[in-house]
Each structure stands twice: as C-alpha cells, then as structure tokens.
Amino acid sequence: MVDVTERLRVGVIGTGFIGPHHVDAARRTGLADVVAMAGSSVERAGPVAKRLGIDDVRTADELLADPTIDVVHICTPNASHADLGRRALEAGKHVMMEKPLALDATEAEDLRRRAADAGRHAAVAFTYRGYPMVRRARDEARDGKLGDLRLVFGAYLQDWLLEEGDYNWRVEPEAGGRSRAVADIGSHWFDTVEHVSGLRVAEVMADLRTFITRRIRPREAGATFERSADGESVAIQSEDAASILLRFEGGATGTFLISQISAGHANDFWWELMGSRASVAWRQEDPELLRYSERDAGSLSVRRAPAADLVPGVPSLPAGHPEGWNDALRDLFRDLYASILGGGPPGDHEPYPTFADGERAVRFVDAVLRSSEREAWERL
C-alpha cells in the first residue's frame, strides 16, 4: 500500500507531446512533486526530463517498482495504455491515464474493474472538464436552467493532419488503434457533452472517411505536428473525419462532426445544448465565454466572473486573464490529487473523470466503428 503524505510524489511515463504538459500541470496544482520520468528508453527520455528540471530518469519498470511514488501518469501511445495501467494498479499506484483508456471495451472494462478491486483512485485525462466555464455550464444545465434538453450538436475540427506529409504514430493502427480521429478527439467531445448535459448517448449512426489514403512516414520518428517530405509512402486505414448522429436516453437527439483535416481549424472544439427554455454554447478557442440564447431575450454572452468561478486551493487566474487548456489540465489533476489526499476510498461520484468514464468513451468509439462498418444504428 502506498503511503500518501501531504504532497504526493508523481511519476510520469511518456516524454512525447503530452508528457511534459502533465509534468507542468501536476506541479502547478501545489499538491504534488514530479520526482521521476520514464520513456521508451532512458536515452530518449533523458533530454526531455533535463529540460523539465527532472534529474531522475528511469525505465517504466523501475518507476512502477518504486514504493515511494504515489501517482503514475501514463502518457504513452494508445496501445500501451492497458498494460501500463494494469501494472500500475498491481503496484498499488493511483493512476492518471491519457485517453483512450484502452483500445477496446473488453480491455477498458478490465481496467475499470481492477481499479475498483485495488481501491485506487484512477482517472482519465478528459481535459475539457477542467475549464471553469464548462463547469459552470454543467451546473446550470443540471439545475434546469435550460429546461428539458432536446438537441445537442457541435464539432471538433483540427488541421494538423491535413496533408500527405503530416504523420504521427496515431495514424498507425498498431500504436493508435483502429480509430484515430474519433478516438483521439471525438472521445473528448462525447465525454464533455455527456458530462455537461447529464444525458447519456444510447445509439450512434456514423459515417467515417479516410480522405488521405497514403501518407509519408518519415525515416526517423518525429514529434507531433512535424511534417516530412522525405520518407516512405504508406497506406492509411484509420479515419480522417467522421459525421455522427446521436440518440440520447430520454429522447434528445444530436449530431457532430469530427475532423483532423479541416484547413484553418487548429483546435476548434465547440458544442451547443438546446433545451425547452434556453440554449447554451461553448467554444474552446474562446473558453472564458458562454453564450445563452432564449426566444424572448435573444442571445447573451457571459464571461467568467471575477471570483465566482475560481477554484479553491491554488489560485486560479482572475477574470480578464484567460484560463486555457493547460489550466484546465491542472484543475483536473487537482481534483484527483485532492481526492487521494483526502484519504477516503474511491466512490461513484468522484470530481474527476474515472476509469468508468474512460470505459464509456471506449464503448462509444467501438459503437461508432461498428455503425460505420454496418451502415446502421448501433447501441453503446
């Protein structure tokens, strides 16, 4: 059993795009010290750890075996998540896992059960839940301000894989899984909308498209968002984009578009909920604002209040100082760490996205893949 002190000791596995952001966000919670990093090898991880001011660089095996580390962050390619998650739980660690939790629902369910049996706090990094105005929208939707929810729609659009020379391990099924755009960013949209609305998706109808059927794989592995014109042309099977219809339990309906090839859309994530009284919309590229719409009152844009939306603990920025994605990640980690430091066992209503939420997102991706293959509605 891990001994938890007043400040948690954190180890991060993964030194690619997302791992350093986990290091930064964990430090800024004020509740944890990042004491070690691990990568695919000590040699590859060393320079990244040094830039981050971390002297202790290890293999993943060594990090997991350290009894003084309380929480392990898993920030590796998707195919390794399930194995590392199991091993971390067996070692008695609390876990923060990058999404997807696993590559299929069977593995995701196994991880969720293992976390429950181990009595460990186990979270999935659905970052957008951490935004102050997303939390405010959730409270108001759950309090009935919108009335009965009827329609949900939105999109998550990117352009970092727009061209044939854009390449990343996510396009490789053996590393990223069968789904790419839906598993990578569609899962964020799905989780955020269910979290804010309180609705549960019952069925999906999906149309997946691979517009770039061949990409240039660079001769040497590159970082996320890097381009290459020198390499091998390889066939691509995972989707570039998806159009998805939704049916929710209770009768609401919805639709959203996912794309990683939409020119000029760097990280354009937005949603709108429409109820019998009012509608509310949020956009990640203007995260401090909620737009409310009513028939008689028209539209009203509301920005984050000077104090009302601040999170207790480590100071958040006051209104007028926009909080962004890295701050949302920090606040997500702060919820996890505070729950661990509270000393109680994990429950059904944790303030962070749990492995159960991660399993549900994996089931959503699986249903989308089945729907596209069968050209039919599929239940989650």
Q: Residues 310, 184: one domain?
A: yes
Coil, strand, or helix at residue 5? coil
Coil, strand, or helix at residue 361? helix
Q: Decide if 54 contacts 34 (C-beta within 8 A).
A: yes
Average pLDDT over residues 119-133: 96
CATH code for position 70: 3.40.50.720
Share of the chain above pLDDT 90, in %: 84
The reported pLDDT for the residue numbered 224 is 61
| 322: confidence class by pLDDT, cuts 50, 70, 90 | confident
| 318: confidence class by pLDDT, cuts 50, 70, 90 | confident
Asked whether residue 1 carries a pLDDT value surpassing 60, the answer given is no
Average pLDDT over residues 31-37: 97
Average pLDDT over residues 38-49: 90
Alpha carbon distance 258, 271 (integer Å): 12
Give the range among 2-11, 29-38, 209-218 with minimum mean pLDDT. 2-11
Give the range among 133-137, 293-297, 359-363 with minimum mean pLDDT. 293-297
pLDDT digits (tens, 9 = 90+) for 326-348: 999 999 999 999 999 998 889 87
User: Is 324 within the bounds of a domain?
Assistant: no
Average pLDDT over residues 275-284: 97
The reported pLDDT for the residue numbered 108 is 97
The reported pLDDT for the residue numbered 6 is 80
Alpha carbon distance 287, 285 (integer Å): 6
Say which residue, 232 or 220, is predicted with more confidence: 232
CA 42 to chain centre: 27
The reported pLDDT for the residue numbered 210 is 98
User: Is 3 within the bounds of a domain?
Assistant: no
Q: Residues 191, 301: one domain?
A: yes
The reported pLDDT for the residue numbered 226 is 65
User: Is 170 within the bounds of a domain?
Assistant: yes
Alpha carbon distance 379, 366 (integer Å): 10
The reported pLDDT for the residue numbered 316 is 66
Residues 6+ apart with CB under 8 A from 130: 327, 328, 329, 330, 331, 332, 335
Which among 308, 305, 279 is positioned nearest to 292, based on CA atoms? 279
Asked whether residue 23 carries a pLDDT value surpassing 50, the answer given is yes
Q: Residues 148, 97: one domain?
A: no
User: Is 357 within the bounds of a domain?
Assistant: no
The reported pLDDT for the residue numbered 366 is 98
The count of other CB atoms within 10 Å of the CB of residue 155 is: 20
Average pLDDT over residues 23-29: 96
Average pLDDT over residues 373-380: 97
Asked whether residue 310 carries a pLDDT value surpassing 70, the answer given is no
CATH code for position 296: 3.30.360.10
User: Is 326 within the bounds of a domain?
Assistant: no
Q: Residues 157, 171: one domain?
A: yes
Q: How many domains does the chain have?
A: 2
Q: Residues 43, 140: one domain?
A: no
The reported pLDDT for the residue numbered 209 is 98
User: Is 202 within the bounds of a domain?
Assistant: yes
Q: Residues 48, 141: one domain?
A: no
The reported pLDDT for the residue numbered 94 is 98
Q: Residues 154, 293: one domain?
A: yes
Q: Residues 288, 178: one domain?
A: yes
The reported pLDDT for the residue numbered 299 is 87
The reported pLDDT for the residue numbered 222 is 59
Computed over every residue of the chain, the mean pLDDT equals 92
The reported pLDDT for the residue numbered 4 is 47
Alpha carbon distance 122, 324 (integer Å): 24
Asked whether residue 163 carries a pLDDT value surpassing 80, the answer given is yes
Helices 42-51 and 19-28 meet at what angle, rounded to 10? 40
Say which residue, 296 or 157, is predicted with more confidence: 157
Asked whether residue 130 carries a pLDDT value surpassing 70, the answer given is yes
Q: Residues 144, 47: one domain?
A: no
Average pLDDT over residues 280-290: 95
The reported pLDDT for the residue numbered 3 is 46
Q: Decide if 90 contacts 338 (C-beta within 8 A).
A: no
Coil, strand, or helix at residue 153? strand
The one-letter amino acid code at 367 reads: A
- How many residues belong to the chain? 380
Element (H, E) at 138: helix 132-142
Place of tokens 């609401």: 252
- φ and ψ at 165, to 5 degrees? -80, -5
Q: Residues 39, 164: one domain?
A: no
Asked whether residue 312 carries a pLDDT value surpassing 80, the answer given is no
Q: Residues 158, 36: one domain?
A: no
Alpha carbon distance 380, 370 (integer Å): 10
- φ and ψ at 304, to 5 degrees? -60, 130
Structure tokens at 239: 């989707």
User: Is 143 within the bounds of a domain?
Assistant: yes
DSSP string, 187-256: HHHHHHHHHHH---EEEEEEEEE-S--EEEEESS---TT-B-SSEEEEE--S-SEEEEEEEETTS-EEEE
User: Is 156 within the bounds of a domain?
Assistant: yes
The reported pLDDT for the residue numbered 195 is 97
Q: How many CA atoms lie within 13 A of 237 on its CB side?
A: 10
The count of other CB atoms within 10 Å of the CB of residue 311 is: 16
CA 114 to chain centre: 21
Residue ranges making up the domain that contains 313: 131-319+362-379
The reported pLDDT for the residue numbered 29 is 94
The one-letter amino acid code at 295 reads: R
DSSP state of 354: B
Average pLDDT over residues 340-358: 92
Q: Residues 155, 121: one domain?
A: no
pLDDT digits (tens, 9 = 90+) for 201-231: 999 999 999 999 999 998 876 556 667 677 8
